[in-house]
Structure 1
Amino acid sequence: MRVIVVGAGVVGTMHAWQAVERGHEVVQIEREAEARGASLRNFGQIWVSGRAGGEELETALRARDLWEDIGARVPRLGFRANGSLTPVRNELELAVAEAAVARPDAAARGYRLLTDEEARAVNPALRGEFTAALHCERDAAVEPRTAQLALRTALRASGRHTFLPGREVREVVGNAAVRDDHGDVHRGDAVVLCTGAWLGGLVRELAPALPVRRVRLQMAQTDPLGEPLTTSIADADSFRYYPAYRSPALDALAAGQEQEPVAAAHRMQLLMVQRRDGGLTIGDTHEYEHPFAFDTLEDPYEHLTGVIEGFLGRPLPRIRRRWAGVYAQCTDSGRVVHRERVEDGVWLVTGPGGRGMTCSPAIAERTADELGW
């Protein structure tokens, strides 16, 4: 087959990977010189721990296995099975962690409840004050700024992958055929539109009632920590935003412990991952109302700094990069991704939200299976 993939973010690139793996020829078209959206502006987390039970967790676990397999073949992905820790500081937070460990799918997620001493043995960089920690062994990480480049280098080596940057697909011109803004027509046996948060133009024309919204977030990266941070780190505010933690204990936490005002105003949680250079990627905020602000605000970064320093027991290294990103999220919270045939031979795959980096290999595998690749 000849497969046309539109979009060079992680979802598009994983669709290209699946097609090449199955022996097909791929033409991958990207409107920028390189992908610049949420696929780069994220934590690089393969985040199993907070996923909803059922299909979402199954997708995340399958994707976790695929990431590990691909990472072994493409070392530049920087795949590492680092797991995560969510330190808790009081009885209300501890009760949510205990409820998570009591889930019937806790073993599949690799949940363990650790004492503070056990958590410090897993991650010695945590020298601050906390009483216990939820450990998820199945969480992992890759390098988000370079993952697509590494994957594309491996795809090019197959001899069956062509990358066409700087071209915006403007029109569907027949069965499995599209025209770009250079006037060139690309014909194949299937076209897959993986356009991320770009929901206007052709996407709006093809799917005017698309059940997907855009979400903006703020993040940052620090100078090197100077020591290994052996796991990813979350804080108890993350319990409020991930469906795996919904329970009467979470209701009690919400009723009995208000978020800090800055965290509540910006719908914040702490997520933190160490990069290969030793720096820390930290975040994040959530903004849903359009139009989005064009600037980044300092209050969220100051809040994150305080939370992190409380866990590390030391000053946070200097922040050297700050940025905002936008991703596309299904408005139906029960769906992992929106997958729709929008024209003959043309499919749209979008809206994984914060699950994109985690679930993209399994999302692409499902697309390939459904399309009979």
Structure 2
Amino acid sequence: MAFFDFIIIGSGILGTFHALHAARAGKRVLVLEKDNRPVSATVRNFGQVVPSGLSGRWYQYGRRSLELYHEIQQEHDISVRKNGSVYVASDADEWQLANELYDQRRADGYPCELWSQAQTLVKYPVLRPEYVKGAVVFPEEISVEPDLMIYKLIDYVTTKYANVTYRNNAAVVGCESTASGATVQLANGERFQAQKVLICNGSEFRLLYPDLFAESGLVVSKLQMMQTVPMPEIALPGNILTGLTIRRYESFADCPSYASLKTPEHLDELKKWGIHVLFKQALDGSIIIGDSHEYATALQTDDLGFDTKDYVNQLILEEASRIVNFPVNRIQRTWAGFYAQTTQEIFEADLENIHIVTGIGGKGMTSSAGFSEETIRRLFL
């Protein structure tokens, strides 16, 4: 039976960044991916890396993650683009929150700018003037290509670090603690042993420890997203977040005036479906637009279905057309993403040399690099 210092089950963003930091710590690492390649939440998102939207320790993890993304990009192209994040306020309440977050982040020493309506429209003439009140901007933030980044990151980790072994199509069906560590067993009967095992299972709750996940309080969120045909004539650089995002993200929820925030009647139906409109232009000029949020418990994820709801997509596009003046209905594809989340920030469990981590929710792309660095220090150093 082959022995490793560290076995990681799952090669999404959390698993792969843990592999990177373990490799840097000199550990012999085995990464096991049940699918041919990661196909879940890590690739079904906007690819926006926005520490500005997080609070508490996750904001700090996000800032560290930005440093790590830049560091890796200098060595190996993982599709990082430093083009900033722009939160566009559409009314007085949102503008007040934008000003409050600007003051907080400036006090933190985090680069930020506050743009007037006129400044915002000069920078983004595709925005409708009647929508824009102003914007809070974070010029150091980045975007990545969600359908490319994780594969490029895996290539970087496995190429640079000879102490990392990567196995795809390797579904783990058993994981047990032993006196000296832990063993894992694949569906084909292969077994491996390690000093420690990390399970980064995302929203897969059936293969390992289903009873634990049934009692975990974890839920799965289903998000609907769309992508337009390429529109190279449209210039939409950066991560574009709108008034609904200001009303949703935790960094704004920490601002003084958030407690008195009221939802205007015209946003009631959007709030019901958890919609907050984001835009991110891909390398080919197409624009990703979304998203919405529906929820189910860990035991009832199938209730969310595999389809997308035309009604929800139409709500997103109607709000998008209220924000921008280009034809948002030129859609070439739609999809649903699924991620695990919890009211406790993240789900972690220690089972004697086996550590489980999931439920990072929408924070994964932004904060996984920094969070996993700390986790490896805690597990090994």
**TM value normalised by structure 1:** 0.91
1:278 aligns with 2:279: no
Matching of residues 1-373 of structure 1 within 5 Å: 2-52=5-55, 54-75=56-77, 77-103=78-104, 107-126=108-127, 128-129=129-130, 130-157=132-159, 158-173=161-176, 174=178, 175-205=181-211, 209-226=215-232, 227-246=234-253, 247-254=255-262, 257-289=264-296, 290=300, 291-316=303-328, 318-332=330-344, 335=345, 337-342=346-351, 344-372=352-380
Q: CA deviation at 1:206?
A: 5.2
Give the gaps of 5 or more residues in structure 1. none
Instruction: Return the alpha-carbon distance in structure 2 between the equivalents of residues 2 and 223 of structure 1.
Output: 46
Instruction: Return the alpha-carbon distance in structure 1 between the equivalents of residues 347 and 111 of structure 2.
Output: 28
Tell which deviates more after alignment, 303-312 or 158-167. Answer: 303-312
In structure 2, give the amino acid aligned to 1:327.
Y
Q: CA deviation at 1:330?
A: 2.0
In structure 2, give the amino acid aligned to 1:28.
V
Instruction: Return the alpha-carbon distance in structure 2 between the equivalents of residues 168 and 205 of structure 1.
Output: 19
CA distances 1:21-49 after superposition (whole Å, capped 9, x unpaired): 22222211111111111000011111112
Q: CA deviation at 1:125?
A: 4.1
Instruction: Return the alpha-carbon distance in structure 2 between the equivalents of residues 209 and 283 of structure 1.
Output: 31
In 2 relative to 1, CA 225–128 (structure 1 residues): closer, same or farther, beyond 3 Å? farther
Q: CA deviation at 1:329?
A: 0.8
CA distances 1:162-191 after superposition (whole Å, capped 9, x unpaired): 222222211124322111111111112221
Q: Does structure 2 conserve the Cα–Cα contact (< 8 Å) formed by 1:100 and 1:106?
A: no
Equivalent position SS for 2:294: coil
Q: Does structure 1 conserve the Cα–Cα contact (< 8 Å) formed by 2:94 and 2:247?
A: no
CA distances 1:281-310 after superposition (whole Å, capped 9, x unpaired): 111111113421332112232233233333
Q: CA deviation at 1:102?
A: 2.9
Q: Does structure 2 conserve the Cα–Cα contact (< 8 Å) formed by 1:78 and 1:276?
A: no
Instruction: Return the alpha-carbon distance in structure 1 between the equivalents of residues 110 and 311 of structure 2.
Output: 33
In 2 relative to 1, CA 107–231 (structure 1 residues): closer, same or farther, beyond 3 Å? farther
Q: Does structure 1 conserve the Cα–Cα contact (< 8 Å) formed by 2:85 and 2:238?
A: yes
Q: Does structure 2 conserve the Cα–Cα contact (< 8 Å) formed by 1:128 and 1:309?
A: no
In structure 1, give the amino acid aligned to 2:123.
V
Instruction: Return the alpha-carbon distance in structure 2 between the equivalents of residues 306 and 172 of structure 1.
Output: 48
Q: CA deviation at 1:107?
A: 4.6
Equivalent position SS for 1:313: coil
Q: CA deviation at 1:322?
A: 0.6
Instruction: Return the alpha-carbon distance in structure 2 between the equivalents of residues 259 and 359 of structure 1.
Output: 33
In structure 1, give the amino acid aligned to 2:114.
L
Cα RMSD after superposing both structures: 2.1
Tell which deviates more after alignment, 215-224 or 239-248. Answer: 239-248
Instruction: Return the alpha-carbon distance in structure 2 between the equivalents of residues 273 and 113 of structure 1.
Output: 20
Give the gaps of 5 or more residues in structure 2. none
Q: Does structure 2 conserve the Cα–Cα contact (< 8 Å) formed by 1:239 and 1:250?
A: no
In structure 2, give the amino acid aligned to 1:189.
Q
In 2 relative to 1, CA 91–252 (structure 1 residues): closer, same or farther, beyond 3 Å? same
Instruction: Return the alpha-carbon distance in structure 2 between the equivalents of residues 271 and 208 of structure 1.
Output: 32
Instruction: Return the alpha-carbon distance in structure 2 between the equivalents of residues 104 and 114 of structure 1.
Output: 15
CA distances 1:50-75 after superposition (whole Å, capped 9, x unpaired): 212x2121111111211121222221
CA distances 1:113-149 after superposition (whole Å, capped 9, x unpaired): 2112222343454354323112122431111111121
Equivalent position SS for 1:114: strand
